[in-house]
Chains A and B, each alone.
Chain A
Amino acid sequence: MFDKTVAELSAALRRRQVSSVELTQLFLARINKYKNLNAFITLDPERSLAQAKAADARLAQGESTVITGVPLAQKDIFCADGWLTTCGSKILSNFVAPYDATLIEKFNKAGAVCLGKTNMDEFAMGSSNETSYYGAVKSPWNTEVVPGGSSGGSAAAVAARLAPAATGTDTGGSIRQPAALSNLTGLKPSYGRVSRYGMIAFASSLDQGGPMTRSAEDAALLLNVMAGFDVRDSTSVNEAVPDYTQTLNKDIKGLRIGLPQEYFSKGLSPDVAKAVEAAIAEYKKLGAQVVEVSLPNSQLAIPCYYVLAPAEASSNLSRFDGARYGYRAKDYTDLLDMYCKTRAEGFGAEVKRRIMIGTYALSAGYYDAYYLKAQQLRRLIAEDFKKAFESCDVIMGPTTPSTAFKIGEKSDDPVAMYLSDIYTISVNLAGLPGMSIPAGFDPKGLPIGLQLIGQYFDEARLLNVAHRYQQVTDWHKQMPKGFN
């Protein structure tokens, strides 16, 4: 039962072959059995089981939705009323959220069960889950390598079958990169598609929540719940939400796949290149055609991002001051001292680096050279995509330049760590939807991800294109050894 997808569990619950309480107990036992992965920060079995009981009652009364009774893991960036919500940081180590994020509220209304809050890089700033105050997460594929980040706990939990699916958030690749490194299907929706209300902000013009699952079909089921306009998020977009499951099986004959030459140049590992090329060949067999496109400014996405994201973060994280909630330093002389000590003790090194880069980029005399320049580049990057989509329907390429790296390998070198998001960051800058799906393994047995990029609000097509591939391949069904 633990290896079943959300779609399969939903059917089993509806046929009353299993109860939500039984499923919840099963996954909680697995979480406990494999706690060496460090995938979760907070568990609250009593609360989870109470939700499961309520779901079983709904199922008995026939008042259920497709995901009623399905246990899910929630990234610890989403505020959930009554749950400790740390965002991977010491500064929120005692923060029991007093309200629900819109995303959590939607899952609660639909009757899903929260299994626990998953580990993550501190404030989602990282690509390896090593910046978490609660310790690194180990990959179930090889406990010496990283699961990816920042949604590393969600990735490890779903890959090890500790949860059938999880939520993640993606500011520069934090859903797609861990999905690629952990053999999952991960979808970052278009900017404005999923409400950011109650999702602790890192870089507000880039952050988006999305599903991390084991199939495109499951991603569609979860996105059906998550997507939609929210008056409480000022950047939420009022666009109709289709039923993403309805178009999964559409024929993709004639689909035009754009391959950006820049995504296949130096820096890409031969193993990843080979797997991506094999996936493209598979798509040709399904009737797709390939066109060459160019994203000439994609090399500048990383420098651009490391101005804009830290600038927004330095502003967003100014709210953590020890006055109204969260951690407060013990000894201080005056208000300024309280702020400075609380923040020095409460934030980790990577978060401090980004706050300082952002503060510097926004400071008097440097604003035009850094912040304004980066915003101009952002437009050039977005226009590259616009032009590319004149000749194709989806863009494909690798999600990451290489497979998972060793824990500790890049943790002392922030710049090397930043480069691991080279193919994912530009998608956030443009605000487009992006996806990573399993496409094979390297000789060491580590997963490889294929990235799909779509036009604004074209999530349905991405899910359709991913689903068709998953009908003719079984990479996404592979499971790490030792988790039976």
Chain B
Amino acid sequence: MSLDREQVRKIAHLARLQITDSEAAAYAESLSRILSLIEQMNAVDTNGVAPMAHPNDAGLRLRADAVTETNQREKFQAIAPAVQAGLYLVPKVIE
């Protein structure tokens, strides 16, 4: 499987990465090489093998639905790019 420039543009958009035309060409080449490495997987028949998502097959722990964190809004917002009145500022999304 090899990717062309248009496919790379589409993937970059899904990943929220802006790329230039020349970058798209370079990524098409390097990503295609990585994909051909990945396709070595097809040499093995995995029919009927249960997928393993995680080394601990036992699954995840549950906890009580209780508040365990203290409010540290000021501390966390002190490192934000832009805040106002306790809110994070981003460009307007609703007209």
Report Cα–Cα, A333/B41, bound state, in Å: 42
Which listed residue, A302, A328, A334, A339, touches B16 by the CB 8 Å rule? A339
B44 touches A377 (CB 8 A): yes
Q: Is the CB of A297 within 8 A of B44?
A: yes
State which of A7-15, A42-50, A165-173, A230-238 sits at the interface with chain B: A230-238
Indicate whether A323 sits within 8 Å of B56 (C-beta atoms), given known contacts A353-B27, A376-B51, A414-B30: no
In the assembly, what is the distance between CA of A359 and CA of B51, in Å? 19
- Are B41 and A344 within 8 A (Cβ)? no
Pick from B38, B54, B55, B63: contact of A370, CB below 8 A: B38
Closest residue on chain B to residue A235 by CB atoms: B56
Q: For A377, what are the chain B residues with a Cβ–Cβ distance below 8 Å?
A: 41, 44, 46, 49
A interface, by DSSP: helix, strand, loop or mixed?
helix
Asked, given contacts A356-B15, A379-B50, whether A335 binds B41 with beta carbons under 8 Å apart, the answer is: no
Whether A353 contacts B41 by the Cβ 8 Å rule is: no
Report chain A residues within 8 Å CB of B78. 98
Interface size on B, residues (CB 8 A): 50
Taking CB atoms and an 8 Å cut-off, the chain B residues in 70-84 that contact chain A are 72, 75-76, 78-82
State the total of A-B contacts with C-beta under 8 angstroms. 160
Count A-side interface residues using an 8 Å CB cutoff: 68
Indicate whether A314 reaches chain B with its CB closer than 8 angstroms: yes
Q: Does A325 make an interface contact (CB < 8 A)?
A: yes
Q: Check A338/B90 contact, CB under 8 A, given A356-B15, A376-B52, A414-B34.
A: yes
Distance to closest chain B CB from A170 (angstroms): 13
Contact B88–A323 (Cβ < 8 Å): yes
In Å, the complex CA distance between A380 and B56 comes to 15
Query: A98 to B76, alpha carbons, bound, how many Å?
Result: 6
A379-B51 in contact (CB<8A): yes
**Stretch in contact with the other chain, from A55-63, A303-311, A473-481:** A303-311
Can you list 8 A-B contacts (CB < 8 A)?
Answer: A300-B41, A325-B79, A333-B91, A340-B13, A355-B15, A356-B31, A379-B52, A380-B44
5 additional A-B pairs beyond A303-B38, A360-B35, A378-B51, beta carbons within 8 Å, are A235-B54, A325-B80, A359-B15, A376-B51, A376-B52
